[in-house]
Structure 1
Amino acid sequence: MALSKMITKQSLIEAFHSLGIESGTRLVVHSALRNLGPVEGGADTVLDALLECIGRSGLLVVPTFTYNNDVFDPEVTPSRTGILTEILRKRHGAVRSLHPTHSVAAIGEGAATICEGHHKVPALGMNSPLDRLAKMGGGVLLLGMGHTSNSTVHVGEAYARVPYLDIPMNPHRPSRIPVVGSVRLEVDLYDPPGCSRAFGVIEASLRQRRAIRDRLVGQGLVQWMLGQEVIASTMDLLHQDAAALLCNDPGCYRCSRGRERLGR
């Protein structure tokens, strides 16, 4: 069996540039680096390549979701969304939002602004960091991941005003979580992000709109699209079928209750 070719920083830069990521670009990155294959220098190299592409005027955002924690300290609570996100949140100059279950970390021009007040709005809803990023003309980069990890789809659900937004993933989880550390407060959670197992259907809609640029990097597919295109495609899909993004697992509290509410 042939060994996988090592991915270098320069090859990453060339790949990102070919997708349209350049100086001044604003983007959110969802990543599963293991699907790309071996990278010389690991996740730090991927992050360095992205930052070099977007330059000082660009903005890089990553999800640093923690999901089911009972308390949140933005300075020490680790991200549960991959090694790239954990490395970025620890970088000098990085800012992390105060949302206790679905925080983001950002670095670059406007990082503090995009994270500001995240704990006062729905995690992935209107006026959340991903919504703000999309309104700024920002994009979504899927590194070795499919659209089940494309969190901007949740923003589209909010704009489509689907009737299941208030249904939690787990009804037994607390609806208020304390934030500790240098800032101390309690955050009420509402319109929590739901299941994303059915989000893969959005890819066909995006490709019909010619909204996706993609290429292979190492062994994995990398996809690039504008956040506003994701939101618009999601809204179009949900206006045709309000249950389109609900999974069929009867054990999924959110989706099964959502289907009941929609009479499905």
Structure 2
Amino acid sequence: MEPLTKESLVASFRSLGITDGTRLVVHSALRNLGPVEGGAETVLDALLSCIGSEGLLVMPTFTYQNDGFHPAISPSKTGILSEMLRKRPEAVRSLHPTHSITAVGEGAVALCNEHYLKPGLGIESPLDLLAKMGGGILLLGVGHTSNSTVHVGEAYAKMPYLDIPFRPSDSRHIPIIGSVHMEVELIDPPGCSRAFGVIEALLRKRGVIQDGLIGKALVQWLPGEEVISATTELLRLDEAALLCNDPICYRCSKSRERLWQ
């Protein structure tokens, strides 16, 4: 196939409804797009061109580490697109030691403000605030196991397992090293997402997913508020719906024990 260009990407994103002033979070796997002329930077340029000066582009730049977070240099572990966005001079990265986000556009500073005092992916976190602004979610070559806004829905559903760490060794306090050295307590650390694909059926029943094909990648575009609402609905029906079945998954195993107490 011919490599994707900025022009073809812009046309594809706009066909989904990503236009001037759009606020969105992107979860991505660049390799699934196939060849792109100019690589990751071209995809970012196309997205920023679509949303214009009044839009807001957000990507997860999670580190997952518990041994220190250096906001200016700690690399994102959530894909090459997020890492390239983080490195842009106009980018703003939130100060959260394990689940930072990076934003470019109008309102980026306000969105990222004091993230270290909030849950990484819970109520009043940047992804929650983005959804409340009417922001959308673009799943670019990935499925709902990468849809971090589902974690926000878990928080609104007040699941009793939210305080259980992902691993038993995870520290509850992690240093942020920037202009000052702070020890930050982790609030409701996000857990396993391997079972999050179950949310797609409910979202499709609601008719809120717009599908697309960009290059070789399947794409979904949907409202963040719908993901939060669908997650809370699902968890009212089945509190264990988002827990994986892997017996060696510490978080999900301990969460089931909590639910069955």
Class of the TM-score when normalised by the shorter of the 2 chains: over 0.9
> Residue 258 of structure 2 corresponds to which residue in structure 1?
261
User: 1:196, 1:38 → 2: CA distance?
Assistant: 28
Equivalent residue pairs, number: 261
- The answer to whether structure 1 residue 232 and structure 2 residue 218 are counterparts is no
User: Under a length normalisation based on structure 1, what TM-score does the superposition of the two structures give?
Assistant: 0.97
> Residue 45 of structure 2 corresponds to which residue in structure 1?
48
Please tell me whether the aligned partners of residues 21 and 53 of structure 2 are also in contact (alpha carbons under 8 angstroms): yes
> Residue 141 of structure 2 corresponds to which residue in structure 1?
144
- The answer to whether structure 1 residue 62 and structure 2 residue 59 are counterparts is yes
What does the per-residue CA deviation read over 1:7-57, in whole Å, with 9 as the maximum and x for residues that have no partner?
111111111101110000000000101011011110000000000000000
- The answer to whether structure 1 residue 197 and structure 2 residue 194 are counterparts is yes
- The answer to whether structure 1 residue 171 and structure 2 residue 168 are counterparts is yes
Once superposed, what is the RMSD of the aligned Cα atoms? 0.9
- State the Cα distance separating 1:5 from its structure 2 match: 2.6
> Residue 187 of structure 1 corresponds to which residue in structure 2?
184
> Residue 241 of structure 1 corresponds to which residue in structure 2?
238
- State the Cα distance separating 1:184 from its structure 2 match: 2.3
User: 2:195, 2:70 → 1: CA distance?
Assistant: 31
User: 2:102, 2:181 → 1: CA distance?
Assistant: 19
What does the per-residue CA deviation read over 1:42-87, in whole Å, with 9 as the maximum and x for residues that have no partner?
0000000000000000000000000024011100111111111111
1:224 counterpart SS class: strand
> Residue 135 of structure 1 corresponds to which residue in structure 2?
132
User: 1:190, 1:127 → 2: CA distance?
Assistant: 12
- The answer to whether structure 1 residue 92 and structure 2 residue 77 are counterparts is no
User: Under a length normalisation based on structure 2, what TM-score does the superposition of the two structures give?
Assistant: 0.98
- State the Cα distance separating 1:212 from its structure 2 match: 0.5
1:29 counterpart SS class: strand
- Give the 4+ runs in structure 1 shifted more than 3 A: none
> Residue 2 of structure 2 corresponds to which residue in structure 1?
5
- The answer to whether structure 1 residue 37 and structure 2 residue 16 are counterparts is no
> Residue 15 of structure 1 corresponds to which residue in structure 2?
12
> Residue 123 of structure 1 corresponds to which residue in structure 2?
120
Gap runs ≥5 in structure 1: none
- State the Cα distance separating 1:240 from its structure 2 match: 0.4
- State the Cα distance separating 1:186 from its structure 2 match: 1.2
Counterpart of 2:209 in structure 1: which amino acid? I
Counterpart of 1:244 in structure 2: which amino acid? A
Counterpart of 1:6 in structure 2: which amino acid? P
- State the Cα distance separating 1:185 from its structure 2 match: 1.1
Counterpart of 1:156 in structure 2: which amino acid? G
Among the aligned pairs, what percent are the same residue?
68
Counterpart of 2:88 in structure 1: which amino acid? R
- State the Cα distance separating 1:173 from its structure 2 match: 1.6
What does the per-residue CA deviation read over 1:120-144, in whole Å, with 9 as the maximum and x for residues that have no partner?
0110000000000000000000110
- State the Cα distance separating 1:181 from its structure 2 match: 2.2
1:234 counterpart SS class: helix
1:174 counterpart SS class: coil
User: 2:246, 2:179 → 1: CA distance?
Assistant: 41
Gap runs ≥5 in structure 2: none
